[in-house]
Amino acid sequence: MLQKKSFTLLGHRTSVALEAEFWAVLEREAARVGASLSAFVAEIDAGRGERPLASALRLRALAAAREPS
């Protein structure tokens, strides 16, 4: 089931729908680096290039899941 979350990125509101499992990993990663989820998403957004934001978030979550604990 997709969960939609809204963020303000570069002064514009945007919504992203991801599976709950991806949000859980992203929230854990944001906490690990001491950032809010919004700040973490903004950082990913800033470095995503032409890739859609949802794809960039999924790839970041995948990378985090692959990192050794």
pLDDT in tens, 17-64: 999 999 999 999 999 999 999 999 999 999 999 999 999 999 999 999
Percent helix, strand, coil in the chain (nearest 5)?
A: 55, 25, 25
pTM for the model: 0.92
Q: Could you tell me if 42 and 9 are in contact, meaning their C-beta atoms sit under 8 angstroms apart?
A: yes
pLDDT in tens, 12-27: 999 999 999 999 999 9
Domain regions of the chain by residue span: 2-66
Whole-number pLDDT of residue 68: 83
Per-residue exposure over 45-57, b if at least 16 CB sit within 10 Å of its own CB, e if not:
beebeeeebeebb
> How many other β-carbons are positioned within 10 Å of the β-carbon of residue 59?
14
